[in-house]
Amino acid sequence: MYLVIDIGGTFVKYALMNAAGTIVTKGRRPTSTTNLTKFKNKIYSIIEDHDLSGIKGIAISCPGTIDVDTGMIYYGGSFPFLHEVNLAKEIEDKYGIDVRIENDGKCAALAELWLGSVKEAKDSVVLILGSGVGGGIIIDGKLHRGVNLSAGEVSYCMNNINPASKTGQFFGLDCSAVEMVRRIAAIKNLEDPTDGEKVFEYIKQNDEEATTIFNEYCIYLATQILNLQYILDPELFAIGGGISAQPILLERIQWALAELKKTNPMHVASPKVVACEFRNDANLYGALYHFFVSKEKLVVK
């Protein structure tokens, strides 16, 4: 049995999983801490609540840039206090159990590669739509990291640069699902600015204001999908994140791709876009798969 931990901005989720990827038990606890010591204690308490005698390893999904060879975390995403903290090594030293750690977006991509929508593809791109755009690039059936570990960090891609101010638009902001929902919630005067279900009710009812914002969002997303198709030429794109559960998202992305090609006849690319199979538990599956892959690499060496 393996203990898998997914560190998120709101909750730390955890599960006992077997080697086939079956979740035996799972739970979650509020993350809510800005202190490194309290944060570590929360992780330790989760570990200590399990019978470690039957645990073969601990797999962790974590925000930030992760050096998977050393376990070092850089920047830490929502948890800046994790910068240059080797959480994996500290847990290994404390409990004497093998630990592997991977970036959360890349875990979501690995879940799709292992058991999900891109497992049969040689080359693919997984895009996870949330507060920004995470995910990963799969080349020749393997996650591509790049020399600086930043391959797949598409949120930082820019367009519409103003030469005078040297500023432009970021992929992660233009295609932020959270921001899109917030904009529609604001214009419809919703009490909860994060109420995605209500927002999509307006979209599915063809509400003019909601549809205008949603269509704009899908045009931005389709534009970047086309760009990535020309750069990487993958077999398919898998779209994940909470809003990928809405069938209208894929429908509208296909519409946006067709509109862009119709308006810009130079386009010859025809990206294949599918929905991710894993959503809320994606990082758990991906973290466990990374554990297995990294252990295999050690054996090969």
3-state SS, residue 6: strand
pLDDT at 296: 73
Separation CA 113–CA 143 (nearest Å): 9
Of 6-15, 180-189, 232-241, 292-301, where does mean pLDDT reach its minimum?
292-301
* Superfamily of domain 117-275, CATH level 4: ATPase, nucleotide binding domain (3.30.420.40)
pLDDT at 300: 34
117-275 and 2-103+280-300 share a CATH fold:
yes
pLDDT of 301 above 50: no
* Helix extents (H) in the chain: 36-48, 87-95, 104-115, 171-174, 177-187, 196-204, 208-232, 247-263, 282-300
pLDDT of 286 above 70: yes
Measured CA distances, 72 to 55, 173, 197, 290, 299 (Å):
23, 27, 37, 15, 21
pLDDT at 273: 98
pLDDT at 289: 97
Of 35-39, 75-79, 102-106, 183-187, where does mean pLDDT reach its minimum?
75-79
Helix pair 104-115, 282-300: axis angle to 10 deg:
80
CB 227 within 8 A of CB 127: no
pLDDT digits (tens, 9 = 90+) for 1-43: 999 999 988 899 999 999 999 999 999 999 877 789 999 999 9
pLDDT of 217 above 70: yes
Separation CA 120–CA 241 (nearest Å): 21
How many beta carbons lie within 10 A of that of residue 201, not counting itself?
Answer: 13
Separation CA 50–CA 122 (nearest Å): 38
Closest listed residue to residue 155, CA positions, set 134, 186, 137, 139: 134
pLDDT at 297: 57
pLDDT digits (tens, 9 = 90+) for 48-79: 999 999 999 999 999 999 999 999 999 888 89
pLDDT at 33: 77
The structural domains of the chain, with segments of one domain joined by +, span: 2-103+280-300, 117-275
How many beta carbons lie within 10 A of that of residue 187, not counting itself?
Answer: 15
CB 71 within 8 A of CB 86: yes
CATH number of 2-103+280-300: 3.30.420.40
Helices and strands, number each (H, E), in the chain: 9, 14
